[in-house]
């Protein structure tokens, strides 16, 4: 079933009852006779007792009309028993109107039940059940239409609240696009079926049923602490390749979500032959995902891939949940962590560059009337104004970033004139860079077990065992597929590494994906044209490894093994740093002497 937007008027009745004023019938009315339209419209004047799902009389009237026009007829009935919508479809389906997607209470259903006819006596279709879940209807019922026009059995289904344990735990599952294979626990269906019966034998008390379901729904929602206002999300990964690699990436996304203070309730990986250009995961899987989201009561769906503006629009049309992609999540973390003026400017610039191509809208409803000659009519649209303002703000921020780059360059030149060696700690996010800086310099830089806990760069002085004084920089962490807008916005900060004499490449040795992290950092250093700077590979968190693992890593990578929380392990690293700085200084001295000899021997130099 598809969705369309209706416009209806409602008149108030006594006792807080509402009834639909007679108006055009929704759906496929083309070809119907005036007499048939009038009889169908009279469905608005009928009422079902609130505790009944449907009466024999109402079902008979619906089935006789449906058989006569050979089309399905459906009604949406409120809990007072009044018909709010009448819809005519074709022989196989009806198209439900959009119920305006208002954000309802998390503890309630919509307050409408759908009763419609099935001319072939078939069971509830997948579209019926999907609409039941997506629209959060109280009930979905199909009335069998017999050959003589009389009603047969009524098949009905209602939503089930999510199980409390399932709602509190994140379940990992993988879905194949072209098969029904499920690579983990099968998801429980969010609906239950009533026993098929003829209308006169439907003995279910509808109001009692809905009341008990909503009470159970409220209890399942209250599993979390009412004071816990954190967003709750489902993570989604889509891959055309290895499921193992997709799972690794989704695990990292989960850590990003944790760093952004998001509670992850579930995660889904879908493998497809090719990505869907419209919605990334395909319409069917999108509907399943939204149903699961409604069942768990999540606030957001977070995609591991970056979404195009068109994909965001398609998914937003299907749900009112927050739709967030990987870049947006990283930007949110950066926005939370930025403390300095420079950091805030860089984050805002990255956010605006991300947002600009995603500003969308059309039609005169978004137009702003401009007065004066030549300014009458729709004028400049609000969308164009928004885009122009964003571009102006980006230009303004870029000028400030350029000033910061100039200031940093001056500071670097002063340090170079003093010939104080500069070290920069680089590495994957959450590798322990700030902890190492604190251990070396006895500083109190914020260090947490979170991704991107450090955003603003920090510089400290350090005296090495060989009586060498150096400046050591703590830098922002790297990550796989770091958004290009972030690299551009933080270039002024990342350029701080350009004048470094040595890069300390810190690696979390306890992370199973450390080799991929090393590769990602090296790739980013190449993109930043910093790969020519000498670097020392240092494996951190050795306290979490066995002796055999430490020996194997040291031998395989020719790396230094440390634990930043144990100062006694840092001495070998400091010794290596001193040796590398001495070698670099000797190389610079040799180069300077060689240049002086060339200049002395050059005739042109002598002539001058």
pLDDT of residue 112: 94
Given 279, 305, 324, the domain boundary residue is 324
Q: Where are the beta strands (DSSP E) in 15-170?
A: 18-20, 26-27, 73-78, 83-88, 112-118, 139-145, 151-159
Domain identity same for 56 and 34: yes
Q: What is the pLDDT of residue 170?
A: 33
Mark whether 151 and 240 lie in a shared domain. Answer: no
**Lowest-confidence range among 44-58, 254-268, 374-388, 409-423?**
374-388
Residues 451, 564, single domain; the answer is: yes
Which residue has better confidence, 413 or 568? Answer: 568
Show the tokens assigned to 110.
């919509």
pLDDT: is 28 or 458 the higher one?
Answer: 28
- Does 1 reside within a domain? no
Phi-psi region of 144 (alpha: psi -120 to 50; beta: other; left: phi over 0): beta
Quick one: 477 and 575 in the same domain?
A: yes
How many folded domains does the chain comprise? 3
- For residue 44, the surrounding DSSP H or E stretch is none
pLDDT in tens, 244-263: 889 999 999 999 999 888 99
For residues 564 and 489, membership in a common domain is answered with yes
| 86 plus 56 within the same structural domain | yes
Q: Which of 282, 307, 324 delimits the end of a domain?
A: 324
Question: Is the Cβ–Cβ distance between 599 and 489 less than 8 Å?
Answer: no
Say if 512 falls within a structural domain. yes
Higher per-residue confidence, 585 vs 12: 585
Any domain includes 334: no
Task: Report yes or no on 361 lying in a domain.
Answer: no
Average of per-residue pLDDT values in the chain: 80
Placement of tokens 């300014």 in the chain = 375
Q: What is the CA radius of gyration of the chain?
A: 33
State pTM to two decimals.
0.74
In a domain, 366, yes or no: no
- 100 band by pLDDT with thresholds 50, 70 and 90: low
Beta-bridge mates of residue 302: 235, 324
Q: Tell me, yes or no, whether 475 lies in a domain.
A: yes
CB 464 within 8 A of CB 480: no
Q: What is the pLDDT of residue 80?
A: 95
450 plus 309 within the same structural domain: no
Within-domain flag for 341: no
Residues 239 and 128 occupy one common structural domain:
no
Whether residues 124 and 246 share a domain: the answer is no
Range of the domain at 151: 10-165+187-221
Looking at the structure, tell me whether residues 309 and 421 fall in a common domain.
no
Residue 38, pLDDT score: 92
Alpha carbons within 13 A on the beta-carbon side of 140: 26
Residues 263 and 215 in one domain: no
pLDDT at residue 492, rounded to an integer = 62
Between CA 187 and CA 177 the distance in angstroms is 16
Of the three residues 289, 324, 359, the one that is the final residue of a domain is 324
Q: Which residue has the higher pLDDT, 176 or 349?
A: 349
Task: Judge contact between 325 and 299, C-beta under 8 A.
Answer: no
- Mean pLDDT, range 500-505, rounded to an integer: 90
| Residue 261: CATH number of its domain | 3.40.50.11060
Q: 54 and 141 in contact (C-beta within 8 Å)?
A: yes
Question: Token pair for residue 274?
Answer: 């090719």
What is the DSSP annotation of 177-193?
A: TTS--BSSSPPPPSEEE
How far is Cα 495 from Cα 420, in angstroms, rounded to an integer?
17
211 and 253 assigned to the same domain: no
Supply the pLDDT for residue 137.
92
């Amino acid at each position: 079933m598809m969705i369309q937007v209706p416009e209806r008027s409602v008149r108030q009745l006594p006792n807080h009852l509402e009834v639909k004023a007679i108006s055009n019938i929704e759906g496929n009315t083309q070809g119907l006779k005036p007499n048939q339209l009038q009889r169908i419209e009279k469905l608005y004047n009928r009422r079902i007792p609130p505790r009944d799902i449907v009466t024999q009389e109402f079902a008979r009237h619906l089935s006789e009309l449906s058989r006569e026009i050979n089309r399905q007829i459906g009604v949406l009935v409120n809990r007072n028993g009044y018909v709010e919508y009448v819809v005519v479809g074709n022989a196989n389906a009806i198209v439900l109107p959009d119920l305006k997607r208002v954000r309802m209470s998390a503890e309630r259903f919509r307050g409408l039940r759908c009763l419609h006819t099935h001319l072939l006596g078939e069971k509830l279709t997948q579209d019926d059940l999907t609409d039941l879940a997506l629209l959060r209807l109280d009930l979905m019922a199909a009335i069998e239409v017999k050959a003589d026009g009389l009603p047969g059995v009524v098949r009905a289904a209602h939503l089930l609240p999510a199980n409390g344990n399932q709602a509190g735990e994140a379940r990992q599952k993988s879905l194949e696009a072209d098969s029904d294979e499920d690579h983990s626990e099968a998801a429980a269906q969010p609906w239950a079926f009533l026993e098929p019966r003829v209308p006169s034998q439907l003995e279910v008390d509808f109001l009692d049923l809905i009341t008990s379901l909503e009470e159970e729904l409220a209890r399942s929602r209250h599993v979390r602490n009412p004071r816990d206002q954190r967003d709750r999300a489902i993570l989604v990964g889509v891959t055309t390749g290895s499921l193992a690699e997709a799972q690794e990436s989704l695990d990292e996304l989960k850590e990003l979500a944790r760093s952004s203070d998001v509670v992850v309730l579930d995660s889904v990986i879908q493998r497809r032959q090719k990505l869907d250009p419209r919605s990334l995961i395909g319409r069917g899987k999108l509907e399943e995902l939204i149903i699961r989201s409604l069942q768990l009561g999540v606030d957001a769906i977070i995609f591991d891939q970056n979404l195009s503006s068109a994909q965001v629009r398609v998914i937003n049309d299907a749900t009112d949940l927050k739709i967030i992609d990987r870049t947006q999540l990283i930007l949110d973390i950066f926005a939370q962590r930025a403390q300095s003026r420079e950091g805030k400017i860089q984050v805002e610039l990255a956010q605006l560059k991300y947002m600009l191509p995603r500003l969308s809208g059309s039609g005169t409803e978004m137009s702003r009337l401009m007065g004066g000659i030549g300014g009458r009519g729709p004028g400049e649209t609000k969308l164009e104004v928004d885009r122009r303002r964003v571009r102006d703000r980006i230009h303004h921020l870029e000028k400030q970033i350029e000033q910061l780059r100039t200031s940093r360059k001056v500071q670097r030149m002063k340090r170079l004139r003093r010939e104080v060696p500069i070290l920069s700690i680089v590495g994957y996010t959450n590798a322990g860079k700030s902890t190492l800086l604190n251990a070396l310099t006895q500083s109190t830089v914020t260090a947490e077990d979170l991704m991107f806990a450090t955003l603003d760069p920090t510089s400290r002085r350090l005296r090495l065992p060989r009586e060498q004084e150096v400046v050591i920089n703590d830098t922002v962490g790297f990550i796989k597929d770091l958004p290009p807008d972030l690299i551009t916005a933080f270039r002024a900060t990342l350029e701080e590494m350009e004048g470094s004499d040595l890069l300390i490449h810190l690696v979390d040795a306890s992370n199973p994906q450390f080799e991929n992290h090393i590769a990602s950092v090296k790739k980013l250093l190449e993109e930043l044209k910093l790969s020519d700077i000498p670097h020392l590979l240092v494996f951190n968190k050795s306290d979490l490894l066995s002796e055999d693992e430490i020996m194997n890593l040291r031998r395989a990578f020719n790396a230094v093994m440390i634990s930043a929380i144990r100062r006694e392990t840092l001495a070998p690293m400091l010794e290596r740093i001193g040796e590398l700085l001495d070698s670099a200084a000797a190389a610079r001295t040799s180069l300077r002497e060689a240049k002086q000899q060339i200049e002395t021997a050059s005739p042109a130099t002598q002539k001058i």
